[in-house]
Structure 1
């Protein structure tokens, strides 16, 4: 392999040679700045293009993670770095680009290779891009006065800047800027949908995969204009937004983070968080200025081939949060109704809806008698309902195929279940990305023909086929993929069950989806807005 030096728009970068899952070499470039460090007066604001540098930038190690409470690898405000993994550099033949958006509830996470190792996906002759974006208060503070330059969604604008960097530079890494697939999980999946809705992202990608998250999920929403609550926690006495902003841009990152964390109920399940995606006041620089549901239903979005889906027991994750955050107290009544129903806690209507939900899922049994009932409830009300409805809307209003999946494979790679010490069958939230990325939770040796190995081969083939062709199963003669994955059709909700086998089925959890959609209709209350 040739010398690992590539010219990008801002200067030269030196990467390193790494080894993939099959024992072959690839080039790894990490920690490349894709924007100016968002420090000082740039704190909370939209990203600015990176500055040029002299000499050769060392791009052989992970860059700083964005500052967040649970991030541990060299967290910093100076964190807007991008990583590129490729089989060739400066080649004539350009490869499809896969642009990964990490999850973490818009409050934590990063692109660190300990979690999102490229070794699986690069075997399939694609160029993989991962990156960091700002989180929590740094990425999602919003002010009502747009002249102050902090209208919100800075973290989402980081994503746009990273995609623009890809358009400008990916050819030198043998990537095709005209064939970019954005894909992400949880908050990353919601971000995929939000990028589809944003005028800022027009022309920056060509296919999309939203895993276990969508723009309509209640947890993918933030409150507007929390600045005065934040100022109070920091002891800032002024009520003038300009004065408060100036103070917030000077306070230490540690003090800012500690104050912001005091505004976040650690048991945020079922509640709107103070810092997350919002609908901005409309301006030429808005990432999103209309309600997502209105944009999707009216067909005013970037129509590209789309994969959406979920894990069979997403709710194990919510159960784990409940039992570890509140002293092992499940708090069923406090998490059972999504806040988007806009029901006043304790009202007659609220209590009636709680009773209906309990009867549907528990049939008058004590919830603790069968944990799987709880997992199903949390899967449906926090994840699946909105993902399911979103896929239907995109299929009905788009002119490109929408594919849907249910991931139920359960092997030693399902690290989230082991993290929460869950023994019941099913795939937890975030379990599926361990079949796309090598991470530190995986077994050291994965035997050929094992269920783990087969699962990896199927997932990377489905995802990279989609990136290459816009179709996850373009051939019926593929030995790894024995089933043709059909997209959604009018009046027919096709989906692929990804388990021990690949199976085409129709309408996942139909009874539960009908129950919830009817419940929303019966309450006659419009969904909460961002």
Structure 2
């Protein structure tokens, strides 16, 4: 299509997009840097997003908008902008014959402190060629997205970054039909923190009616890395020299601080990523007020009670997620296998208490760990990688799926990702010669990115990419990832049931239906939580 004709009209005004040439020289249509909310600056810093303003004339959306202010993945340098609430739309066509295409809405990972929705990491090529519309977004991160103040009258209850995602989903409902997308067939999907965000959206009344299917990859609302605390605002105020205990005054002063000083000082507050410790600026439980909240109850309570949004699901994890934790913990060797990195805070046991020590000992016995060292030999390293795979990621992912199954009338499809090829870059970066797939190593099978150039046409990697994206987009189209078998998709994917925890094992030599992923370990963690976890909402 001529770029002169790539002008569409959304509710806020006219947009001019461009042609995007994919890895295999096909052309799709690209609209990048579309504002989905009012810039969250000045008095709107830390606040819930406001709807976008309308504009006159034609807005050029042929380049990506600024990333949200944070440390860049690649350079590790602080940068970006507070004016960052942009989304990107990639579509096979516009102005077609009334055909409405499924919409896949991607939420990036990065621990809620880094990342963006740019093509540098999330190129649309593989997904959009399967005849769906892809939306990628930015949302506020770190202190800007997750600062919380307990006093509800101040209007900063937390979770602004998650509310950004809700605002972007509302934009999709208003406007996606212009891009040949179907607002009544939206699949949210994400990885790591993005996967956790997907599940948090399912738990939030604020998101009701905004999506119809969901995929969370390597992330759950129950994962230890999702949770933050409200008291960090006072630590930040102290570091910035704000000597006052009045919440309203503290907010006013924090809204005046230059963004670089604000974020740089927020990073001085320890964010250990230890499983026992709440993070300084992350997801919190908001106080219940007359104003709508994103999350006002413990995720576990919502899941166990069945008061969540029921939709078809795909849930899963990578076989050795803990490689990523190993990379992080290399800089903290004395904490690698400390008790604080064994016992998740979701058990709500006081660090150092008798019960805490008892649980830590049970974990050490299960994994046959005797000390705190990580790299003495290959056997110790393998044990550590397994622990971190399970207590940071997969145990909570499996546990959440089990609990939700009791209440969700729609199918839940579970998988374990074990594809290990030349495009698994995280394990290479870790420099480890171990069997298993690292956290985030699934991304190169769904998106083009700067780390992994598109594979050769006859390669195993491209065949696996095509198979995976077909299954994922089948789910977006039909609510069933394998509605039929063909030369490419050779296995019917059965959902989990009350009697059988089925899962699709994604392996190089084929996709296979199995039961009970990592059964002994998952049963161990499930039983441990059932024995020791107190009901959090009563504390």
Quick one: distance in 2 between partners of 1:286 and 1:106?
19
CA distance 1:164–1:423, shift in 2 (3 Å):
same
CA distance 1:321–1:202, shift in 2 (3 Å):
same
In 2, are the aligned partners of 1:22 and 1:123 still within 8 Å (CA)? no
> In structure 2, what is the equivalent of residue 9 of structure 1?
11
In 1, are the aligned partners of 2:399 and 2:526 still within 8 Å (CA)? no
> In structure 2, what is the equivalent of residue 217 of structure 1?
223
Which of residues 385, 403, 406 in structure 1 aligns to 2:395? 385
> In structure 2, what is the equivalent of residue 326 of structure 1?
332
Shift of residue 384, structure 1, vs aligned partner? 0.7
Shift of residue 448, structure 1, vs aligned partner? 2.6
Quick one: distance in 2 between partners of 1:177 and 1:357?
46
> In structure 2, what is the equivalent of residue 311 of structure 1?
318
Shift of residue 266, structure 1, vs aligned partner? 4.5
Counterparts of residues 199-210 of structure 1 (less than 5 Å): 199-210=205-216
Quick one: distance in 2 between partners of 1:524 and 1:45?
33
In 2, are the aligned partners of 1:182 and 1:209 still within 8 Å (CA)? yes
Shift of residue 528, structure 1, vs aligned partner? 8.3
Which of residues 513, 527, 535 in structure 2 aligns to 1:518? 527
Counterparts of residues 21-420 of structure 1 (less than 5 Å): 21-70=23-72, 75-91=80-96, 92-283=98-289, 284-323=291-330, 325-326=331-332, 330-362=336-368, 368-369=376-377, 370=379, 371-420=381-430
Quick one: distance in 2 between partners of 1:529 and 1:76?
40
Q: Tell me the TM-score normalised to structure 2 length.
A: 0.94
Shift of residue 8, structure 1, vs aligned partner? 1.3
SS in 1 for 2:125: coil
In 1, are the aligned partners of 2:297 and 2:537 still within 8 Å (CA)? no
Quick one: distance in 2 between partners of 1:527 and 1:508?
28
In 2, are the aligned partners of 1:142 and 1:153 still within 8 Å (CA)? yes
Shift of residue 526, structure 1, vs aligned partner? 4.3
CA distance 1:74–1:171, shift in 2 (3 Å):
farther
In 2, are the aligned partners of 1:144 and 1:151 still within 8 Å (CA)? yes
Shift of residue 344, structure 1, vs aligned partner? 3.4
> In structure 1, what is the equivalent of residue 477 of structure 2?
468
Quick one: distance in 1 between partners of 2:50 and 2:450?
33
Shift of residue 525, structure 1, vs aligned partner? 4.0
Output the aligned Cα RMSD. Answer: 1.9
Gapped regions of structure 1 (runs ≥ 5): none
In 1, are the aligned partners of 2:72 and 2:78 still within 8 Å (CA)? no
SS in 2 for 1:465: helix
Q: Tell me the TM-score normalised to structure 1 length.
A: 0.95
Quick one: distance in 2 between partners of 1:197 and 1:342?
21
> In structure 1, what is the equivalent of residue 489 of structure 2?
481
Gapped regions of structure 2 (runs ≥ 5): none
SS in 2 for 1:27: strand
Quick one: distance in 1 between partners of 2:316 and 2:219?
8
> In structure 2, what is the equivalent of residue 459 of structure 1?
468
SS in 2 for 1:397: coil
SS in 2 for 1:31: strand
Moved more, 225-234 or 459-468: 225-234
Quick one: distance in 2 between partners of 1:451 and 1:212?
23
Shift of residue 457, structure 1, vs aligned partner? 0.9
Answering whether residue 500 of structure 2 is matched by residue 492 of structure 1, we say: yes
CA distance 1:93–1:459, shift in 2 (3 Å):
same
Quick one: distance in 2 between partners of 1:364 and 1:260?
36
SS in 2 for 1:262: coil
Shift of residue 267, structure 1, vs aligned partner? 5.0
Quick one: distance in 1 between partners of 2:506 and 2:124?
21
Shift of residue 347, structure 1, vs aligned partner? 3.6
> In structure 1, what is the equivalent of residue 513 of structure 2?
504
Quick one: distance in 1 between partners of 2:346 and 2:507?
32
CA distance 1:301–1:336, shift in 2 (3 Å):
same
Quick one: distance in 2 between partners of 1:375 and 1:111?
29
Moved more, 331-340 or 303-312: 331-340
CA distance 1:274–1:192, shift in 2 (3 Å):
same
Moved more, 446-455 or 48-57: 446-455
What is the CA deviation profile of residues 169-212 of structure 1, one whole-angstrom value per residue up to 9, with x for unaligned ones? 10111100000000000111111111111111111000000100
SS in 2 for 1:399: coil
